[in-house]
Amino acid sequence: MANVAVIGAQWGDEGKGKIVDWLSARADVVVRFQGGHNAGHTLVIDGVTYKLSLLPSGVVRPGKLSVIGNGVVVDPWALAAEIDKLRGLGVTVTPESLVVAENAALILPLHRELDVARESSNSVQALGTTKRGIGPAYEDKVGRRAIRAIDLKNFGTLPAKVARLLAHHNALRRGTGAEELAVEAVLAKLRGIAPKILPFIGPVWRTLDQARKAGKRILFEGAQAVLLDVDHGTYPFVTSSNTVAGQAAAGSGIGPRQIGYVLGIVKAYTTRVGEGPFPTEQKNEVGERLGQRGAEFGTVTGRKRRCGWFDAVLVRQTILTGGVDGIALTKLDVLDGFDEIKVCTGYRLGKAALDHLPADPVEQAAIEPVYETIEGWSESTRGARSWAQLPANAIKYVRRIEELIDAPVALLSTSPEREDTILVHDPFLA
């Protein structure tokens, strides 16, 4: 049996929540390994909708251990609020069901304030962040001035750490016209939240090693997607962490050889939230139709998503950089009723033909997609749970995508409902 890492293989919002939930029924441990509460997963279980941001998807299932790894930046106030919200829905979260890495960096209110100030400034190009402090928190982590979860255990040494952090942030706040912060004000907030967070923290690397040695199935749950990776995405319109499968190891403290199968989540068309290049975007009736049928609004932000045709060039690239073994193709039912469906198979840059997305932002803005037109289908695919229930043209569409991205479909999703899934092969048995 293989441990499985799940990552988004486009710009996020591919339906990872449902797929991770579907897989979590077969897993013993579910791990978040990067990002923060800017991630959004919507789960629909027995008619109840759960919207998660920071907690792993396995937290809503009894008997599963949920883990927030060291690669995640944790807003302790958001974490406490999300735990309380789940309790209101009948889900009990305890230190026996949730472990937070003691070496995870924390997101503080000052990080959110800096994020908002930067995004609102007319002098800086907006990156389309969620304004939740994710980027500034990662900056402090790599700058070696972050406050970590373990620091909440010792308020005797914390004032000096906060003072060092504020030496950096107060200089930034002066630059943005914000009021400077006092050490004691920050400490007071941390004293208030610490009792709610400390019971959950521990050495995640050891927890995962023990689970591995006990033969437990571990599911690594990625946030955002490969095209938002800080190295391999459409920089600078990216998130502040690595979203590729390799981060599952670094962001949780487990060896890379322990990740047996990488499942990339891919939507049957393409969407993007926020700014940045989008070669196949449809600013027309097609884009509106995809958005309405696919309910394309962000789980966390509520922002309307940009929509367009499937881009096989991008996905083929993320298959390679993300380390993907097979894909879960989602939202096939949104394409029901289209007479024709277009798929991008290449780009043109002037007279040159390209088979990949260039790294140069100027070239990214100038490329033009080359489309292949595929005959659509009028029958409904919604709720299909076997190949026999799919229209012939829908099957042809799926097979053509497999050819173009050079990766097999392991799972096919035909609605938000968990059971409306066609299993081609089980990643845990790969």
Active site amino acids: 13, 41
| Length, in residues, of the chain | 430
Question: Considering only CA atoms, which of 203, 426, 416, 222 is closest in space to residue 326?
Answer: 426
Question: Considering only CA atoms, which of 152, 156, 60, 43 is closest in space to residue 102?
Answer: 152
* 195 upstream amide cis, omega within 30 of 0: no
**DSSP letters for 303-353:** PBPEEE-EEHHHHHHHHHHHT-SEEEEE-GGGGTT-SEEEEEEEEEETTEE
Contact 13, 21 (CB under 8 A): no
Contacts of 221 (CB under 8 A, 6+ apart): 6, 16, 20, 30, 31, 32, 33, 56, 57, 58
Task: Work out the number of other CB atoms within 10 angstroms of the CB of residue 87.
Answer: 11
Distance CA 33, CA 243 (A): 9
